[in-house]
Structure 1
Amino acid sequence: MVESQNLHLTTAQTQRSPVGYMLRKTAFVTTALTIAGGSWYVAVAMTSPSDLTAIYNCSAFFAYAFSIPLLKDKIRFDKVSSVAVAIAGVLIVAYGDSKDTKHGGKSGGAVGGAPPTPEEEAARNRSLGNVIIGVGSVLYGLYEVLYKKLACPPEGTSPERGMIFANFFGSLIGCFTLFVLWIPLPLLHLTGLERFEWPVGKQAWVLLISVLANATFSGSFLVLISLTSPVLSSVAALLTIFLVAIVDWLLKGEKLGPAAILGGLLIIAAFLLLSWSTYREMEEERKKT
């Protein structure tokens, strides 16, 4: 059903094993997700937190852009407006109260072939980091659309079956990570590029909490894409930016600045607007069928 995107299968389709299709698509989708997620960890040491947050969360725009050719999604003014408002909210949160040092001017190197100054080197690293996280943002939007197109049950499937299959595919992603993506770790360790160490003490507990929280988020995220659309899911994920600010305020006493509040309200408004647009679109499709 997933491969043919059809609820009514022929006899030949029911007799063919789906294992090969699921393994290929799992590898394909997980690779896109891994590169997108890995770009964040590479860029985080090179660019500023503001640039990282703003660029990476533009994946909502790319999810909508890829949905048009791959999912035959229609260009709707309310959807475009919602995504634009959400990204505007992210930019306000990222830069409104930012205290990052901005490296202005050109960074083409010192005159006469002299080694670059620390400021020039930082500007170069920041530019490269922005390019890397930009590629990750594009790939993350593509991952969401690929999952919807290649690994979600067809329209008309019951919500319960859609939720179960979304968690099943999420488990396949985890299995691919466990059995395949460990292979670079010994190579990175032996070459000294990235030393591998077992987490202990507080690090182990924090990592465990992070894994459990991310598993809950990822499972819910895949279910939401399966039941609605990549665009709505991507904008919904932006709500975490405002939630992180609230948690910092409650746990660390870091007060919410005007930009954080304004940006958070814009993201919430965009999510509500896009939810209403998605509901209307689904109602229109239901009436046609």
Structure 2
Amino acid sequence: NWCTNASLAYTTVASSTILASTSGFFTLGIGSLAGIEKFTLIKFLTVIISVIGVFLISIKAPDENQHNPIDHLFGDSLALVGAFFYGCYTVLLKLRIQDESRINMPLFFGFVGLYNIFLLWPLFLLLHVTGVEEFQLPPDGNVWIMIMVNALVGTFLSDYLWLLSVLMTSPLVVTLGLSLTIPLALFGDYVFKGIIMNPGYWLGALLVVSGFLGVNLATIKESKREHKFTPLLIDEPVTM
């Protein structure tokens, strides 16, 4: 997340978004090496379709806050590194936990919070002392409310559902599913702000959805095939 967000300061939003969407390739590749994902041509094609869709959306979507990139190569590299680390993180969770029955979700996220408090939060003071970033408390109650709502919905709830979906499906399905946030966000701009999208956007959104549906169908067929050929274990009589 840090690499992806930091890349926005050095490169364009479109470039960062497109490179971040390549996490599907890393997830498929790393998952195949780890034995979590089965590499198939259909899955590879669905990832390509999804990335092309994100590319079309990012290029065609209006960007009111566009800026001149400071260091295009460095920013793109950060976005690519972020996509790689996301693939590693997702596959590692699936590899170590395997399914939702083997983890206590409240305990897991409780430890995540403790690690953040005792290991990461003190770094803010260090950044403040060194002058890298000034530490400030929210100025008023409205900001406090927005922070708490974002922490509950945008961080805890989204991460909770994301982890459940990783354990209940597969890392690749979830990775391509996250790409749906891009067309959905722009669709929200169309509904609430009245921004008219061009045909290139709708084509990109269709490709993103198609990629997500395609990888789901491939995963379902793969799961049915595995269950079909899984031999039943029958207790044999013990001979003395």
Gapped runs of 5+ residues in structure 1?
Answer: 1-36, 104-121, 154-158
**In the alignment, which residue of structure 2 is the partner of 1:169?**
108
Rounded to whole Å, the distance in 2 between the matches of 1:193 and 1:102 is 25
Q: 1:123 to 1:44 in 2, by over 3 A?
A: closer
Q: 1:262 to 1:168 in 2, by over 3 A?
A: farther
Rounded to whole Å, the distance in 2 between the matches of 1:203 and 1:260 is 33
Q: Which of residues 219, 234, 252 is equivalent to 2:160?
A: 219
Rounded to whole Å, the distance in 1 between the matches of 2:93 and 2:49 is 25
Q: For 1:58-108, what per-residue CA distance to the aligned partner results, in whole angstroms no more than 9, with x for missing partners?
A: 1111111100111253221111111111111111111134669999xxxxx
Rounded to whole Å, the distance in 2 between the matches of 1:167 and 1:288 is 36
Q: Secondary structure at the match of 2:138?
A: coil
CA contact (8 A) 1:152 1:165 kept: no
**In the alignment, which residue of structure 2 is the partner of 1:138?**
84
Rounded to whole Å, the distance in 2 between the matches of 1:87 and 1:286 is 31
CA contact (8 A) 1:62 1:137 kept: yes
Q: 1:166 to 1:70 in 2, by over 3 A?
A: farther
Q: For 1:228-259, what per-residue CA distance to the aligned partner results, in whole angstroms no more than 9, with x for missing partners?
A: 11000100111111111111222222222222
CA contact (8 A) 2:36 2:94 kept: no
Rounded to whole Å, the distance in 2 between the matches of 1:204 and 1:49 is 28
Give the letter aligned to residue 69 of structure 1. Answer: L
Equivalent residue runs for 1:1-289 within 5 Å: 37-71=1-35, 73-97=37-61, 125-153=71-99, 161=101, 165-166=104-105, 168-201=107-140, 202-214=142-154, 215-289=156-230
- In the superposition, the TM-score normalised over structure 2's length comes to 0.86
Rounded to whole Å, the distance in 2 between the matches of 1:243 and 1:263 is 12
Give the letter aligned to residue 84 of structure 2. Answer: V
Rounded to whole Å, the distance in 2 between the matches of 1:126 and 1:101 is 16
Give the letter aligned to residue 187 of structure 1. Answer: L
Q: For 1:189-236, what per-residue CA distance to the aligned partner results, in whole angstroms no more than 9, with x for missing partners?
A: 111111111123343333233222222221111111101110001001
- In the superposition, the TM-score normalised over structure 1's length comes to 0.72
CA contact (8 A) 1:93 1:263 kept: yes
CA contact (8 A) 1:46 1:128 kept: yes
CA contact (8 A) 1:39 1:132 kept: yes
CA contact (8 A) 1:166 1:222 kept: no
Give the letter aligned to residue 180 of structure 1. Answer: L
CA contact (8 A) 2:11 2:70 kept: no
CA contact (8 A) 2:17 2:54 kept: yes
Rounded to whole Å, the distance in 2 between the matches of 1:211 and 1:145 is 25
**What is the root-mean-square deviation in Å for CA atoms of aligned residues?**
2.4
Q: 1:249 to 1:127 in 2, by over 3 A?
A: same
Gapped runs of 5+ residues in structure 2?
Answer: 231-240
Q: 1:207 to 1:255 in 2, by over 3 A?
A: farther
CA contact (8 A) 1:170 1:222 kept: no
Give the letter aligned to residue 120 of structure 2. Answer: L
State the shift of 1:166 in Å: 4.8
Rounded to whole Å, the distance in 1 between the matches of 2:106 and 2:147 is 22
CA contact (8 A) 2:190 2:196 kept: yes
Q: Secondary structure at the match of 2:38?
A: coil
**Matched length:** 228
CA contact (8 A) 2:12 2:69 kept: no
Segment drifting more, 207-216 vs 256-265: 207-216
Rounded to whole Å, the distance in 2 between the matches of 1:48 and 1:144 is 26
